Amino acid sequence: MNWRHEHDAVDILIVGAGAAGGVLAKELSEAGLSVVVLEAGPWRDPEKDFASDELSMRQLAWEDTRIFDGSDPFDMGYDHSGRGVGGGTQNFTGVFLRFHESDFKTKSIDGVGEDWPIHYKDLEPYYSRIEKEVAVSGPKYFPWGNFNGPYPHPPQDALSTNAFLFQKGCDTLRIQSVVTPLAILSVPQEGRSPCTHRGFCIQGCMTNAKFSTLIVHLPQAVQAGAEVLTNCMVTQIEIDEYGHACGALFVHQGTTYRQRAKTVIVCAHAVETPRLLLHSATPLFPDGLANSSGWVGRAIMTHSSNDVYAKFDQEVRLYKGTPVLASTQDFYETDPHRGFVRGYTLHAHGTRPIDMAHGISKSAEDFLWGEHLKEAMRDYNYYGRLTMVGEVLPQPDNQVILSEEKDENGMPRASVSFAYSANDRKLIDHAVDNMKLILKAAGGQIAYVVPDTQHLMGGCRMGNNPATSVVNAYGQSHDIPNLFICDASVFVTSSGVNPTNTIMALAARTADYIIDLASS
């Protein structure tokens, strides 16, 4: 294998070409820095490599074995993380929402979790920048949080039946709802056509109406001089005798190679980033890189994402339209009358047959299987579905560690331990009750409640105190000044909203910080 910077120490080495890695590669290469991106998966062509096939497109997910335990071990589902250029932006729903100010200050406001070392105002200009680059479509007025619109483009012009029924139920119960802000085109943009409502968003968008860094940021990075090396699994961050990061070892087609660098940025996902840092331990850093605090791998968070299915007399056809087309955040902020703190977002969330069958099979205590499952799926077209994005509180014992089992590269597999807190469970129960009420108000008969999780965060949290955090407010390691971490692993709390917009805004902010360092 030969590549342009094989014998050079590049300015920037980025591990992972997903939501954060794509933004960083674009911004840093356009600033004149030499950039190499190492990505474990392939570079796909949406027109040739994506298919309107629910089963075959599971290849977009990171499917390497991980070990799960704890009192609430979760299923690492198809769209928990991505593999390949674009990462999880290849197979996400496109929901593109901002955190609220309260998400950054849960300790101060509600006495739980920890405060972030930044405020909403620190990310506000980056949210705006990213939403413009992504061409977000959204409602004229968004009634919750700090940002109420307008979005760069108008909302999607056609609601799915599932979204319509959700809004009907919300209206009946006097719950506010809006068309969801999406990273999906509602108007033509730079040669890309608007959404045709095919509904295969999480199978990879063949028409490029849905944003991904695969089609936006990384091609711009390459045009600016960045080099993206694909099918290259990074197994170790290298450290020199002075305790500085100096590059990485990676495996390509069974052979190990080295890329030297002046600065290393890890953007490998909330499981793979702690795994890589722990496995890169050296005599100088015997507990793993950036881990003098002991917080690498700790306080892993997911979103509670339980689904509620209801059967209707009319056809709903959950496969039609973008998966998420209507949402409410009326239950987002803490209400002292509810008996728990923090909150959640509710989405009208379409699904395809295999995903539904997999989900409802887990809904009954004795599992739904065989003839009973087949009978349920015969009525697939008559089901509506809602889902929640529930805040899960950070707990130190929810963590990623290295297992004894090793992968084909000799790297220990990740072991993830997870348990819900009592507050998390109360929040889930409240959300499920509200989803049932909304579906009933729309005329549905409740059929299945499916326990689920989505969106992994935490494990390398940011903070001002090096004794209780891994990186500073810009993702810079407290221990190794030229090692940065920039993905959802730096999240201090999980919020009650999909994380992609915040991941990318943080990446843009980190890029500006690195550019300022390079020019000083």
Q: Are 176 and 328 in contact (CB under 8 A)?
A: yes
Average pLDDT, rounded, for the chain: 94
> Is 90 exceeded by the pLDDT of residue 512?
yes
| pTM (predicted TM-score) | 0.96
Give the tokens for residue 386.
């809602």
Please report, for residues 27, 39, 221, 226, 263, the alpha-carbon distance to residue 32 in angstroms, rounded to integers and kept in the order given: 9, 21, 11, 10, 14
pLDDT of residue 157: 83
pLDDT of residue 82: 82
Tens digits of residue pLDDT in 221-234: 999 999 999 999 99
> Is 60 exceeded by the pLDDT of residue 34?
yes
Give the tokens for residue 427.
């929040």
pLDDT of residue 75: 67
Q: Which residues lie across from 387 on neighbouring strands?
A: 307, 347
pLDDT band at 21 (very low <50, low <70, confident <90, very high): very high
Distance of CA 21 to the CA centre of its chain: 13
212 vs 218: CA distance, rounded Å? 9
Tens digits of residue pLDDT in 94-124: 999 999 999 999 999 999 999 999 999 999 9
Region 326-346: what's the mean pLDDT? 97
Tens digits of residue pLDDT in 157-194: 888 999 999 999 999 999 999 999 999 988 988 888 88
Tens digits of residue pLDDT in 262-296: 999 999 999 999 999 999 999 999 999 999 999 99
Q: Are strands 255-266 and 245-252 parallel, antiparallel or unpaired?
A: antiparallel
DSSP assignments along 457-483, one per residue? E-SS-B-S-TTS-SB-TTSBBSS-TTE
pLDDT of residue 66: 75
The proportion of the chain whose per-residue pLDDT surpasses 90, expressed as a percent, equals: 81
Which element (helix H / strand E) includes 395? none
Tens digits of residue pLDDT in 44-84: 998 898 888 777 777 777 777 777 777 777 765 555 678 89
Tens digits of residue pLDDT in 361-381: 988 666 788 999 999 999 999
Please report, for residues 262, 342, 460, the alpha-carbon distance to residue 86 in angstroms, rounded to integers and kept in the order given: 24, 31, 22
Q: Are 350 and 162 in contact (CB under 8 A)?
A: yes
> Is 90 exceeded by the pLDDT of residue 430?
yes
Please report, for residues 162, 290, 353, the alpha-carbon distance to residue 442 in angstroms, rounded to integers and kept in the order given: 10, 51, 22
Give the tokens for residue 284.
């100088």
Region 446-457: what's the mean pLDDT? 93
